Structure 1
Amino acid sequence: MMSDTVSLMLIWCLGLALGGFFFVGLWWTVQKSIRSAHPAWWLLSSLLVRMTVTIAGFYLVISHEMANTSLLRLLICLFGFICARFITARVVAKMTAKLDTPVQQAAAIEQLNPHEGSQHAP
């Protein structure tokens, strides 16, 4: 049988995975909705999927007999979830920090909206 420490580390890793799924999914959804003709559909459907997976993951952590108490398991899983939020924020900040010159920012905006700035005849 696994020791309590190992099982609690696995629960922390599950929280980290749930948080990664949630926050990377949120970032992806915002990027996708910016370019979409129907952003509300993207935001609502992503919210439902992300929340369903996250709540199901937390429920499994609480209900599964892996460690000491369900409250301890929940808190450790939540700590992993919050750690994933900070990791995701740092990675996204580093990705966007590369766009610090006006030329790079204009190029990134042009990639997001390629047809908006063009003046070509149909």
Structure 2
Amino acid sequence: MNNSFLIIVFLVGFALGVFFFGGLWYSVKKAVVSTKPLLWTFGSFFIRMSLTVLTFYFAGGEDWRRFLAVLIGFMAGRFTVIHITKTIDARHAEQKTEI
């Protein structure tokens, strides 16, 4: 197994982390103002978990290094989404106080 393949698997994990945690943030925002919050909550959960488990299974394979690369990429995506969403929420809070 070469390092370039591990980098690709890391990037797959990163994209998955951005999808999972970005989708979580988005679905919570939508569920709060929706008339059907249960649908947003469970629908989003099912889609995000299904895709995450399948991606970990296929990208991780039977090699612990690939699985670790996917996991580290997933966590890097998580921290990226946390940073971006804090910035977005801070901007919205500033706009509300200015009005």
Fold in common (TM above 0.5): yes
Q: Provide the alpha-carbon RMSD of the alignment.
A: 1.9
AA aligned to 1:83 is: A
Give the TM-score normalised by the residue count of structure 2. 0.90
Aligned to 2:14: 16
In 1, the alpha carbon distance for the partners of 2:92 and 2:31 equals 20
In 2, the alpha carbon distance for the partners of 1:91 and 1:24 equals 9
Q: Is the 8 A contact 2:60 2:70 kept in 1?
A: no
Higher-helix-fraction structure: 2
Query: How far did residue 99 of structure 1 move?
Result: 3.3
From 31, 38, 53, the equivalent of 1:33 is 31
CA displacement, residues 27-86 of structure 1 (integer Å, 9 cap, x when unaligned): 1101110111111111001000000000000011133xxxxx611110110000000010
In 2, the alpha carbon distance for the partners of 1:16 and 1:78 equals 8
- Greater Cα radius of gyration, structure 1 or 2: 1
In 1, the alpha carbon distance for the partners of 2:77 and 2:30 equals 21
Among the aligned pairs, what percent are the same residue?
A: 30
CA gap of 1:105–1:56, structure 2 versus 1, over 3 A, is farther
* Structure 1 unmatched ranges of 5 or more: 64-68, 108-122
Deviation >3 Å, runs of 4+: none
Written as runs of structure 1 = structure 2, the 5 A alignment for 1:90-109 is 90-101=83-94, 104=96
* Structure 2 unmatched ranges of 5 or more: none
